[in-house]
Each structure stands twice: as structure tokens, then as C-alpha cells.
Amino acid sequence: MAAQYVVGIDVGGQTTKIGVVDARGDILAQTVIRTDTYSEVEKYIAEVGEAVRKVISEAGVEGNVRGIGVGAPNANYYTGNIENAVNLKWSGNKTIEFSKLLSTEMGGLPVALTNDANAAAVGEMTYGAAKGMKNFIMITLGTGVGSGIVIGGKVVYGHDGFAGELGHVAAVRNNGRTCNCGKTGCLETYASAIGVARTAREWLELSDEPSLLRNVDNISSKDVYEAAKEGDALALRIFEFTGRMLGQCFADFVAFSAPEAIVLFGGLARSKEFLTQPILDSMNKNLLAIWKNKVKLIYSSLKESDAAILGASALAWEL
């Protein structure tokens, strides 16, 4: 009988989440280890291996694991390497043969690796809101804006393994905001959690309009959300603006791959009560007639605390 369980590993800058998952997307056992206390990858991998063996044993599925899926920053699906991940202490500006190292540590168990947004897309397709969909685009609205594109039931990796950087398309072509990537006007500078806070700070400077946000130090997107919930006019307009930026870009994405749906995930997606309508309005306004009011906008149905492990684990079903 084919092995019926998979392991999902989400490698973050500070912590690494590890879990054993069954075919229905239930996490049978899970654990968390530190990522940032290791400066040498060998020691980190040994610790990951230890933790994987522990959760497999806890779940009681020894010998019944098909493989390991890993979501990590700067991960290349084709090579299995993590390249120049500056937020991972043991990677820095080196290339880490992550899949190979982990597979060796696990006695040859196959390992698949991709970035977190692609992992989220596979997770949504395997267990979540995109179940059964063959063509959709996953947009993660977190600190940054990430994306995982699915066409014909497969994640798009492109020629080099790095396809799907939709946070860095031009939302604004001239005089746009400076992005961490070195360009200007990237969607991420407007439509991420940081982008929303940036809009708030900019707009508060531009007028004397009263707003609950004037009382907040070091504004975050969560503050803007809470002010919007109180009916704060400025906060509501910030979400309208954010939704418009997203919707405009989504229309261009639809012209590319004609997806059935765009699936939103991440901290900022929790503000869906304020984002959905502006996104839909601006997307439909910018779509060709053949697509107007036809492309669904949906939200991840995975529990946020589980999503990272589930997304990564889903990769392993294809091993």
C-alpha cells in the first residue's frame, strides 16, 4: 500500500514549523523549533531531522510517510536549493542544497521545496478553498505580497524556478513608492500590511482630517483595520485605495492566465469586509468584457495557524 502521510515544514526567519499531515489535511502531530539560533546549516538540518522523527513517532506513522514538503524563502523548486535567503542566518548569501541535505538526514526520504506562496497555493488546491480548481492565482497579503500561480493544476515555476513574483509588478508606473527590491511602484508597496500602514502615515500628513489613527503611535495595518471597524472615514478610504490597487493589478493577471479565481491569504486578507468590494469593483472595471464579473475572489479556508504546514505538506503528495 502506498504511504499515506506526508510531512510539511515551514521555514521562517525565526521559527520552523513541522507537522505530519494525512490526505484530508488533518495535522496529526506538530512541533516548532528555532530557525535563528543556528549559524551552520548542518546543525540546523540535524535538529530538523530530529524534530521530524519525533512528530512521525508521535503520530504513530513510522514507515508510512511518502515524503517531506518544505516552504522556505528564496526556495527553488527545480534545484531544491535555498539561494541567498538573507533572513535565514545559516543561508545568508550562500546557496544551500536544502532538499539534498534534508533527504540525506532522513535516510533518503524524498523532499520537495518551494517558496511559501507557492506552498500556500498547493495547500489551498489540496485541502482548501481551491480544491478541485485547475486554474487560480494565490495572493498572500502579509508583510509583503507573494503569489503562487496554478495553471492546468500545476504550480507555475517558469524557466528558472522563480516564477510568480506578483508583489513586484508595477501598480504605479511613475513616481511610485520605493520598494525593498530596489524598484519603485511595486504592488507590495501599496497592498501589503506595511503598504497599508504607509498609506495611513502618508495620508495623515496630507490633511487635517480628523481620524482615530491620529492617536496611534507607530501605525500598523491592524490599527487601520480597527479604525475602519469603528467607521473611521480615513481608514475606510485607505482600504478602498488598497483594494483598488489590488483590483487593477488582478485585472492584468487575469488577462495573462484567465484563472477561475483569485484566492487571498495572509494577515491583511482578514480585512476582507473592507477589501472585497473595492477589489471586485476595480478588477471588473479593468477586465475585458469576456471576463467581467466572472472571475471569483475567494479567501483561504485553511486555519491560519495550520496553513503554513499544510501548504508545505501538500507538495509532498506529488513526490
Which residues make up the interface to a second copy (CB under 8 A)? Answer: 134-135, 149, 151-152, 154, 156-166, 168-170, 172-173, 181-183, 248, 251-253, 255-260, 286, 288-291, 294
CB of 278 to a second copy, least distance (A): 15
Q: Are strands 5-11 and 65-71 parallel, antiparallel or unpaired?
A: parallel
CB of 169 to a second copy, least distance (A): 4
CB of 154 to a second copy, least distance (A): 7
Which segments within 98-186 are labelled E, that is strand? 111-114, 136-141, 145-151, 154-155
**24 versus 173: smaller Cβ distance to a second copy:** 173
**248 versus 277: smaller Cβ distance to a second copy:** 248
**31 versus 135: smaller Cβ distance to a second copy:** 135
Q: Which positions ≥6 away from 316 have C-beta within 8 Å?
A: 6, 7, 8, 66, 67, 68, 69, 110, 112
By residue count, the chain amounts to 319
Q: How far apart are CA 192 and CA 69, in angstroms?
A: 26
Can you name the residues that pair with 145 across neighbouring β-strands? Answer: 141
**25 versus 146: smaller Cβ distance to a second copy:** 146
CB of 242 to a second copy, least distance (A): 15
Coil vs helix vs strand at 199? helix
**7 versus 249: smaller Cβ distance to a second copy:** 249
Q: How far apart are CA 244 and CA 250, in angstroms?
A: 10
**219 versus 298: smaller Cβ distance to a second copy:** 298
Q: Which whole-number Å values give the CA distances from 141 to 58, 121, 136, 220, 267, in the listed order? A: 33, 13, 16, 14, 6
CB of 192 to a second copy, least distance (A): 15
**126 versus 282: smaller Cβ distance to a second copy:** 282
List for the chain the helix, strand, coil content (%; round to 5).
40, 20, 35
CB of 97 to a second copy, least distance (A): 18
CB of 130 to a second copy, least distance (A): 12
Nearest to 136 by CA among 146, 148, 127: 148
Nearest to 99 by CA among 122, 119, 79, 73: 79
Q: How far apart are CA 22 and CA 4, in angstroms?
A: 7
